[in-house]
Amino acid sequence: MPNPPRLFRMIIPVSEGENAASFYSQLLGLEGRSVGGGRHYFDCGPVILALLETRKPAHPENLFFAVADLEEVHARALEMGCLSPELVHGASAAEILTRPWGERSFYVLDPSGHRLCFVDETTLFTGR
């Protein structure tokens, strides 16, 4: 396709907007911005991560972030107490591990139940 569509924003529902914005700001090491309507935006490269405060039950999303310093983000997540207690392919989601598909990664759960995966940007698997 000569001019494919470009993903520029992803919205995830959160139950407590200000708390969620604070959580993401601390974990990502980024300042978000309130844009009104119960939304907070975080510039994550070419895609905006938008948090939308809603009272409707959230269906947890899986978000994947490529990062330059995986250990730094892991240290923040450990300090925040948000590392995932789950297993990924039989191994700890909370530990920095090389997964069966070759990515070095770890997982976090946000306060709304969204699963966040942080991947060493030098090990991204894109299916190509």
pLDDT in tens, 41-85: 999 999 999 999 998 877 888 999 999 999 999 999 999 999 999
Look-up of token digits 């919205």:
11
Predicted TM-score (pTM) of the model is: 0.92
Domains of the chain and CATH, by start: 9-123 (3.10.180.10)
pLDDT in tens, 80-95: 999 999 999 999 999 9
- Does residue 6 carry a pLDDT above 80? yes
Select from 96, 94, 29, 28 the least CA-distant residue to 65. 28
Adjacent-strand bridge partners of 48: 9, 43
pLDDT in tens, 95-112: 999 999 999 999 999 999
